[in-house]
A and B are shown apart, each in its own frame.
Chain A
Amino acid sequence: MVASANTRLRLETAHLTALFGQHRAVRDVTLLFPANTVTAIIGPSGCGKSTLLRCLNRMHELTPGASVEGEVLLDDVNIYAPDVNPVELRRRVGMVFQRPTPFPTMSIYDNVAAGLKVNGRKPRAEVDDAVSQALQQAALWEEVKDRLHTSALDLSGGQQQRLCIARAVAPAPEILLLDEPTASLDPAGTQRIEELCHALKRLYTIVIVTHNMQQAARVSDYTAFMYLGSLIEVGRTDEIFTKPKVEQTEAYITGRFG
């Protein structure tokens, strides 16, 4: 994949291998994620796509026995270098999970503000602004602006997931990782999240893991196909889906396996 000249490189992996004990879940993956694009990672269940994603904000290492070899470069700095603090890194790389995970004891407002307060107290007005801006970015503002201080659990599943997106973008991260964000949503909820991807890539570099190929085709600029832990093929999404170069990719996207 060649990034065009005016696209800064934000994030890349170099010979990245992720292990659970002795098992290599991601094998020697080298991949670029250009700035302000949406990159989709597709592949059958268990191919290592979620594990790859979790290496990008150092969530992978939280699993007991998990380890990483190779490098992940964020603006040319290896995030696995010993002087990088994973807690601070995660404030720069936001993440949204498969199932909505609103904090059950917090109101809608407090959920969105959760990541803002982690760096110490901020003036009330500043937090108010950031919360409403994040909710607008997540296209949830109109639905919740009159009940910001009610429980986040009263929202529907799709709203909860957009709340989680608002929570992830409120601290203004540089990268947004989406791990099958629509897996537990109905078609309407899915469509709203996909529209959001389009809108949010102006502000963030987005990496989305999905097992839904139509979704990858709809939302992404670049698509990477993984199989058995290895990166099989990566390229512009329209090319991957119309004229893939590798036989395995074609077999997968035409539904012959996976």
Chain B
Amino acid sequence: MTASDFRRHLMSRVMTTLVVILSFTAVLALVLILGNLIAKGASSIDWAFFTKSPVPAGQSGGGVANAIVGTAIVVGVAALIGVPIGVGAGMYLAEYGSGRLGFLVRFIADVLNGTPSIVVGIVGWTFIVKPTGHFSALAGSVALAILMIPMLARTTEEMVRLVPNSLREAALALGYPRWRTSLRVVARTAMGGIVTGCLVGIARIAGETAPLLFTALGNLNFTVNASQPMQTLSLQIYVYATGPFEEWHRIAWASALVLMGLVLIISLAARWVTRARYGSIR
């Protein structure tokens, strides 16, 4: 082995080792978070934690059923509002958005993507909470949907752009009108990627707290009425973790673990969707 060969191999070793160390550092953050949550939260999780509502401060026991159901409702309604608009906008951007309007929509989506979520919360407060006169889960859903729409628009656009142009041409050459080509061939081919984008977007907003502080507000009681203030896991964690009671801290840790688990499940579902459908863009 010549000297230059030796240097080359040595350099390769050093760089590979460096990259491996950096990768582990990145993964370490997740491991530490999960490990910490499990260590401090897992012991508080039992059946009652999922089925009971909180008890007054100072008493022990109770659960976060109201927050779990609240998260499902607030995030679910946000998805109902945000997914059609976001995916539709993304389809438009990818299939028809080559002109000036497309440029404008894309630019606005990028600005919205970078908007701090607390600002979106204030918007929800100004346009819904103030005119209606009270905090509501619906206002929270709208705020979360506003956060979600630009995210979905951009990921949908990316996924639809991955569909080879030859497929569009093949459909058009068969006598498909343009809109039908977009829906029947292009959207279906990109479906795996679009669904994944939606699930990742839902996982993102499920953990949002700031936009809900001025909108859904939080609620210590169990409710399914979307026009009333509603508790979510993120709000629950915020209030309980900053509260004065040891018992509250315990519940906050456990809630954080549940929320993390929820996000993990949605992310895994996203993985599964991309894997399961044959032929879709991965």
Point out residues on A near B: beta carbons under 8 Å. Answer: 57, 59, 62, 64, 87-91, 94-95, 97, 99, 101, 103-106, 114-115, 118, 151, 153, 164, 167-168, 171
Q: Is the CB of A94 within 8 A of B171?
A: no
Q: Is the CB of B280 within 8 A of A104?
A: yes
Q: Tell me how far the C-beta of A93 lies from the nearest C-beta in chain B, rounded to whole angstroms.
A: 8
Instruction: Please count how many residues in chain B sit with their CB below 8 Å of the partner chain's CB atoms.
Output: 23
- Given known contacts A151-B279, A153-B279, A118 and B173 CB-to-CB distance under 8 angstroms: no
Q: Is the CB of B172 within 8 A of A97?
A: no
- Given known contacts A62-B172, A90-B172, A103 and B167 CB-to-CB distance under 8 angstroms: yes
Query: Is B170 close to A, CB under 8 A?
Result: yes
CB contacts between A and B, total, < 8 Å: 69
- Given known contacts A64-B98, A151-B278, A101 and B176 CB-to-CB distance under 8 angstroms: no
Inter-chain CA distance A91–B174, complex, in Å, is: 6
Q: Is the CB of A95 within 8 A of B280?
A: no
Q: Is the CB of A167 within 8 A of B279?
A: no
In the A-B complex, the 8 residue pairs with the smallest Cβ-Cβ separation, listed nearest first, are A104-B279, A91-B175, A101-B170, A95-B173, A115-B174, A90-B175, A105-B188, A101-B166
- Given known contacts A104-B279, A105-B191, A105-B279, A87 and B177 CB-to-CB distance under 8 angstroms: yes
Beyond A105-B188, A153-B278, 13 extra complex contacts between A and B, CB < 8 Å? A59-B173, A62-B172, A87-B177, A94-B174, A97-B166, A97-B173, A103-B167, A103-B171, A104-B280, A106-B188, A167-B174, A171-B174, A171-B175
Chain A residue contacts of B66, Cβ below 8 A: none
Chain B residue contacts of A103, Cβ below 8 A: 167, 170-171, 185, 188-189
Q: Tell me how far the C-beta of B103 lies from the nearest C-beta in chain A, rounded to whole angstroms.
A: 15
Inter-chain CA distance A99–B170, complex, in Å, is: 10
Chain A residue contacts of B173, Cβ below 8 A: 57, 59, 90, 94-95, 97, 168
Query: Is B110 close to A, CB under 8 A?
Result: no
Chain A residue contacts of B246, Cβ below 8 A: none
Q: Is the CB of A114 within 8 A of B174?
A: yes
Q: Tell me how far the C-beta of A231 lies from the nearest C-beta in chain B, rounded to whole angstroms.
A: 23
What does the 1/0 interface line of B152-184 toward A look like (CB < 8 Å)?
000000000000101101111111110010001
Chain B residue contacts of A87, Cβ below 8 A: 175-177
Chain B residue contacts of A95, Cβ below 8 A: 173
Chain A residue contacts of B185, Cβ below 8 A: 103
Q: Is the CB of A101 within 8 A of B172?
A: no
Q: Tell me how far the C-beta of B232 lies from the nearest C-beta in chain A, rounded to whole angstroms.
A: 36
Inter-chain CA distance A49–B171, complex, in Å, is: 22
Chain A residue contacts of B98, Cβ below 8 A: 64
Q: Tell me how far the C-beta of B161 lies from the nearest C-beta in chain A, rounded to whole angstroms.
A: 15
